[in-house]
A and B are shown apart, each in its own frame.
Chain A
Amino acid sequence: MSGGLLVSYIALWVLVVALAIAVLALYNHFGRLYLNTPQGRDEQGPPPLEPLRKRTLGDLQEGAVSLPIKGTPSLLFFSDVDCPLCDSLKPGLARFATERDDVALTVICGGNREAVARWSTELGADVCVVPDPGNRIAAGFNIAMTPFLVSTDAEGVVRHKGLINEVEGFAAAAAAAARTNVLEVITR
């Protein structure tokens, strides 16, 4: 292969690689745009009124947490160490965990184990905290933004899911999780 041909051959391959990267970046870009639209935000999280997919996660104490938690209404709070809005909800979350021992509370927090441990110190021992490096667990639940809350009833069925901006959202989600569908009870 002559010198000129070799140079153009290499240049074309470089261009192909650059274009492939640009196409993937564009794909990511439009995906992110969609995720942040009202429709995209609304569609995040596990499907409502369906059993939460079974998962076994490791908490900060290196114990196993099996989801969904059955036998009691439960809340899954998705957070991140880099989420300022989540930080503002921490005091309310700690208070809710103390006052509502009838609701199982699990926090899934994006970040490495050490950062999550520092972030969760003020939550207290009533709250189970699961570190989520790289937000992989959240992505597995179809969640790409925080703070996000999922509530399940005593049978592990998703009763509420969505972004949460105020402390009152915890009580509302817990009420949804405790609500029993009368028709479901009759037809069982």
Chain B
Amino acid sequence: MSEVLARGAMAINRRRFLGRALAGTFAVLAGAAAGRTEPAWAISCTAPNGACPSAGCNGYRCRDSSGLTCNYRTGACAENRACWCGGGHCCCDCRCCVLSGSCTSCYCHGAQ
């Protein structure tokens, strides 16, 4: 099933104009159904707790800031790589911790 999904996603992606039209159509329908809109590229990032706080990101890169320590979360996949790009945007898996010691897995995204 997963292979079917993956191959289907890549096959549709080759037909660029159709892919963009479909994604745009779905985004509109999904946004209308959910009552909110979300940038289409945001769905290409994955992390259990969504996007990292903006202070923990420098574009798509994880960043330390005052009161927040954000490191690349490389243990998330077997190949041990935290960042990838697609469609002009990049995502990085991050692990951000506050001073109290509480940590969360999130992603940073951006074009730079």
Contact B9 A22 (CB under 8 A): no
Which among A28, A84, A136 is the interface contact of B26 at CB below 8 angstroms? A28
Stretch from B49-57, B63-71, B73-81, B96-104 that touches the partner: B73-81
Contact A85 B60 (CB under 8 A): yes
Cβ < 8 Å to B, chain A residues 11-42: 18, 21-22, 24-42
Stretch from A58-66, A96-104, A113-121, A138-146 that touches the partner: A138-146
Nearest-CB distance from B68 to chain A (Å)?
21
Task: Assign chain B's interface to a size class.
Answer: 35 or more
Contact (A163, B5) CB under 8 Å given A36-B91, A38-B76: no
Contact A84 B82 (CB under 8 A): no
Nearest-CB distance from A111 to chain B (Å)?
11
Report B-chain residues with C-beta under 8 Å of the C-beta of A36: 44-46, 84, 91
Tally A residues with Cβ within 8 Å of B: 44
Report B-chain residues with C-beta under 8 Å of the C-beta of A109: none
Report B-chain residues with C-beta under 8 Å of the C-beta of A39: 2, 77
Report B-chain residues with C-beta under 8 Å of the C-beta of A18: 25
CB closest residue in chain B, given A80: B85
Report B-chain residues with C-beta under 8 Å of the C-beta of A42: 77-79
Q: Spell out B's residues near A (CB within 8 Å).
A: 2-3, 5-14, 16, 19, 21-23, 25-26, 29-30, 43-46, 59-60, 72, 76-88, 90-91, 111-112
